[in-house]
């Protein structure tokens, strides 16, 4: 398999790097010990500052590390506000690792934060860091990656704006006993070498993860570009039994979209960082699930074996469907996860959480293997994740571009049986459908887990696309529907999957 000029043969292995081997050894040692929360080293002056004060602390770009030596440069985040546990940063240069100290002179303290300059900030450490690269032009180093908070990190490609987040791990997400958030405690960054032409477009770093249930060693190889990608290799060591280990978690926001039945009093037609979950199963099926903002927490499991990939996608990229000149939702990237090893049997899990507005991330998707990770066991992870503006190159089928529903009753039919039915239309376009004319015998393959779909049909559209339409009776129960378009018994579209809840 080839992706953006990289082959599976080019992937990294721990044996190649003594520094990564040392981090793996440290992670294994931690797992054999009782979990110790990080010490509270943050100066008192930083512990109680509010959001506004924290925003007035800024790293001075003129102090960015390596900016005169490499296309890559490094800027840091100050501790304080919600970032109460500083991390440790190290730089590997000439095969030696050296701590990167906290320097107050690297920051400007404005407004209410100016009083902090009079305080002893020794022990502040760093909350996180961001990486810059001439992504959009040769004249400016754009921020393309940020590591900040627990195991969270975000990436963007050329022309994209930050949206969804990635995490190192998700543990017991949406579980009755609560979620555990592993955290990267220490990082080692390889100082970029301007003379290394072969690797001039890559940045490598290592990380040590720890939490009550698991410790781990991570290696990240970041390649900024049109579709910024990160190759991730990790060794995990379980300190305790883990009921649900979420691998390659993606976290996003969906407040309302085209299929939302309820929406706030807002001039914007749609508000979301992602509008659907796309999966490429081990059986070579492409499945599309539109996202929702439910009335209560919902967890969906998509059973699979050796998946080819999954991702949270921002398929709608037309500004006219958002009208937001500040958030730029039309520029939020999609992000795909591609295993670089066999993940075996398991399922992609989608968690949708109610949210009143766009300030809360309420969507999580990740892989859960059937093989659990128990106390004393270890697991190796190897995968790639990358941003997209469209779809993975391998996706050659027609794609669902529109999902709408409403009352099936026509004008003047408020008292008819149709008023108790729900009408759905799903429009497909592109891919294999582009070469199919309206006179060809395209059929609708549809199934429901509960009840039946009424009046199913496939119809050619004037714009070259195809429409799938059907009705659901008012059964009072949720309806899980799957459908796709076929021609001569073969799929010509991805599989659209949707769960209708009549009470919402």
Please tell me the pTM assigned to this model. 0.93
pLDDT given at position 7: 34
Residue with tokens 């506004």: 52
3-state DSSP assignment of residue 376: coil
Is residue 368 within 8 Å of 247, Cβ to Cβ?
yes
Please write down the HEC assignment for all residues of 355-371. Answer: CCCCCCCCEEEEEEECC
Per-residue pLDDT of 103-126, as tens digits, reads 999 999 999 999 998 998 988 999
Q: Which of 49, 57, 100, 95 is nearest to 77 (CA)?
A: 57
How far is Cα 302 from Cα 294, in angstroms, rounded to an integer? 18
How far is Cα 448 from Cα 471, in angstroms, rounded to an integer? 11
Per-residue pLDDT of 345-361, as tens digits, reads 999 999 999 999 999 99
Q: How many CB atoms lie within 10 A of CB 284?
A: 9
Per-residue pLDDT of 447-499, as tens digits, reads 998 878 999 999 999 999 999 999 999 888 899 999 999 999 999 999 999 99
Is residue 395 within 8 Å of 351, Cβ to Cβ?
no
Is residue 350 within 8 Å of 310, Cβ to Cβ?
no
pLDDT given at position 474: 85
- Long-range interactions of 48-55: CB distance < 8 A, separation 24+: 49/80, 49/81, 49/113, 49/116, 50/81, 51/81, 52/111, 52/112, 53/80, 53/81, 53/111, 53/112, 53/113, 54/78, 54/80, 54/81, 54/113
């Amino acid at each position: 398999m080839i992706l953006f000029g990289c082959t599976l043969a080019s992937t990294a292995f721990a044996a190649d790097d003594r520094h990564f081997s040392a981090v793996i050894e440290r992670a294994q040692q931690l797992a054999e010990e009782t979990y110790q929360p990080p010490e509270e080293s943050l100066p008192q002056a930083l512990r109680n500052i509010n959001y506004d004060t924290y925003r007035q602390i800024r790293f001075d770009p003129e102090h960015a590390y390596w900016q005169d030596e490499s296309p890559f440069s490094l800027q840091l985040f100050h501790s304080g506000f919600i970032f109460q546990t500083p991390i440790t940063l190290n730089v590997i240069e000439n095969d030696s690792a050296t701590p990167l100290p906290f320097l107050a002179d690297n920051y400007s303290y404005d407004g209410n934060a100016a009083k902090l300059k009079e305080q002893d900030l020794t022990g502040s450490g760093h909350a996180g860091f961001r990486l810059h690269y001439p992504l959009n032009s040769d004249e400016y180093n754009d921020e393309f990656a940020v590591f900040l908070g627990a195991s969270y990190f975000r990436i963007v490609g050329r022309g994209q704006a930050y949206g969804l987040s990635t995490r190192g791990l998700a543990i017991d997400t949406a579980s009755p006993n609560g979620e555990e958030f592993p955290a990267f405690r220490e990082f080692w960054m390889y100082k970029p070498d301007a003379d290394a032409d072969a690797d001039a477009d890559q940045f490598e770093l290592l990380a040590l993860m720890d939490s009550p249930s698991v410790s781990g060693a991570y290696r990240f190889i970041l390649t900024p570009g049109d579709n910024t990608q990160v190759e991730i290799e990790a060794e995990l060591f379980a300190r305790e039994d883990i009921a649900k280990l979420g691998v390659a978690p993606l976290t996003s926001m969906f407040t309302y979209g085209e299929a939302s039945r309820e929406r706030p009093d807002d001039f914007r037609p749609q508000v979301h960082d992602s509008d659907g979950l796309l999966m490429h199963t081990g059986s070579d099926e492409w499945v599309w699930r539109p996202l929702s903002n439910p009335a209560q927490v919902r967890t969906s499991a998509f059973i699979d074996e050796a998946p080819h990939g999954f991702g949270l996608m921002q398929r709608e990229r037309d500004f006219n469907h958002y009208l937001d000149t500040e958030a730029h939702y039309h520029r939020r990237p999609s992000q795909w996860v591609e295993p670089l090893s066999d993940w075996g049997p398991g399922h992609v899990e989608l968690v949708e959480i109610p949210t009143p507005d766009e300030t809360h991330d309420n969507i999580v998707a990740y892989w859960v293997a059937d093989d659990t990770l128990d106390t004393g066991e270890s697991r190796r992870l190897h995968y790639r994740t990358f941003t997209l503006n469209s779809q993975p190159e391998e996706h050659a089928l027609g794609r669902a571009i529109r999902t709408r529903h409403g009352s099936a009753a026509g004008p003047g039919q408020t008292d008819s049986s149709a008023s108790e039915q729900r009408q759905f239309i799903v429009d497909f376009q592109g891919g294999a459908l582009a070469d199919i004319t309206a006179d060809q015998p395209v059929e609708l393959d549809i199934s429901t887990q509960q009840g039946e779909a009424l009046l199913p049909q496939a119809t050619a559209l004037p714009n070259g696309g195809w429409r799938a339409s059907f009705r659901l009776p008012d059964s009072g129960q949720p309806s899980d529907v799957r459908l796709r378009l076929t021609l001569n018994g073969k799929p010509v579209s991805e599989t659209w999957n949707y769960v209708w809840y009549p009470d919402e």
